């Protein structure tokens, strides 16, 4: 059975994240914005697959006032209670394609057993809307529970600036990969209207948002873009945690990169960064 590339890639991504330990049980969710060209060939691309296509019987599910730039968009999205360990074995059950309306969405294909899109659908729609305003090539939103990032937010009272500088200071690559920094939201109840609004606000200036004591969200132009952002931040958090544990000192009592070092990297690689003033 041959799926379109964007379905094959989400299958690979979700399994990779489960193997990393970032998506235990039913944790995590992913969404992908289909291009106009992908929408035009959608029915033909799915015709020989096991994805159910719903045609004229589509019913609107009202969840929120959808931002104008996200109305009438097709989104591939993971299902509520999907298990990324098993998604590769039943993609038509754990994935669906929805079409947004002015107030919600209609299911176009997939979700074969009657599941609904992730409970974080409100956040996904608002996140896509926010990032499209910054980058018309934006495509993907990924949320998971990257282990070291979560631990870091549990052990340290972090802010957007403090966590960004901590992660930049222990891994030179970090400031190159996410020069826009990493936003931090104080703990909030997941799946709510409020966390969606607050996340979208932070995404006006960042591509990654940490939900303190919970997980992380990344946005990008491809699945690999989103995976790479989280992978780099999580590795930096791991280094920072190990450094504190081994030395018994705070990060900055060790031989970490200084602000001057970071500015030098930015100058040499022509990277514009924030939080260094």
The residues annotated with a catalytic role in the active site are 120
Asked whether 237 and 229 are in contact (CB, 8 A), the reply is no
Asked whether 167 and 176 are in contact (CB, 8 A), the reply is no
Structure tokens at 192: 């709510």
Contacts of 33 (CB under 8 A, 6+ apart): 73, 74, 75, 128, 138, 139, 140
- Determine the Cα–Cα distance for residues 130 and 124; give it in Å rounded to an integer: 10
**How is residue 70 annotated by DSSP?**
G
**How is residue 118 annotated by DSSP?**
-
Structure tokens at 6: 């964007």
Nearest of 116, 111, 72, 107 to residue 92 by alpha carbon: 111
Distances (CA, A) of 264 to 25, 261, 273: 43, 5, 11
Structure tokens at 63: 């969840």
């Amino acid at each position: 059975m041959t799926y379109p590339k964007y379905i094959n890639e989400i299958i690979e991504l979700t399994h990779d994240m489960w193997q990393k330990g970032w998506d235990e049980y039913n944790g995590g969710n992913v969404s992908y914005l289909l291009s106009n060209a992908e929408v035009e060939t959608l029915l033909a691309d799915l015709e020989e697959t096991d994805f159910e296509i719903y045609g004229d019987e589509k019913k609107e599910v009202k969840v929120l006032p959808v931002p104008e730039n996200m109305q009438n968009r097709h989104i591939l999205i993971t299902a509520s209670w999907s298990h990324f360990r098993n998604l590769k074995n039943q993609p038509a059950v754990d994935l669906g394609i929805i079409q947004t309306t002015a107030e919600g969405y209609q299911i176009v294909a997939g979700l074969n057993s009657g599941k609904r899109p992730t409970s974080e659908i409100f956040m996904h729609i608002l996140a896509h809307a926010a990032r499209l305003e910054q980058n018309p090539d934006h495509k993907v939103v990924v949320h998971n529970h990257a282990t070291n990032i979560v631990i870091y937010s549990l052990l340290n009272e972090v802010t957007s600036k403090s966590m960004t500088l901590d992660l930049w200071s222990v891994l030179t690559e970090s400031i190159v990969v996410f020069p826009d920094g990493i936003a931090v939201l104080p703990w909030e109840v997941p799946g709510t209207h409020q966390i969606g609004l607050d996340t979208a606000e932070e995404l006006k200036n960042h591509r990654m948002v940490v939900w303190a004591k919970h997980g992380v969200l990344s946005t990008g132009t491809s699945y690999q873009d989103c995976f790479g952002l989280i992978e780099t931040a999580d590795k930096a958090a791991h280094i920072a945690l190990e450094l504190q544990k081994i030395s018994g000192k705070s990060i900055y009592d060790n031989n970490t990169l200084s602000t001057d070092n970071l500015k030098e990297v930015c100058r040499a690689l022509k990277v514009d960064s924030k939080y260094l003033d």
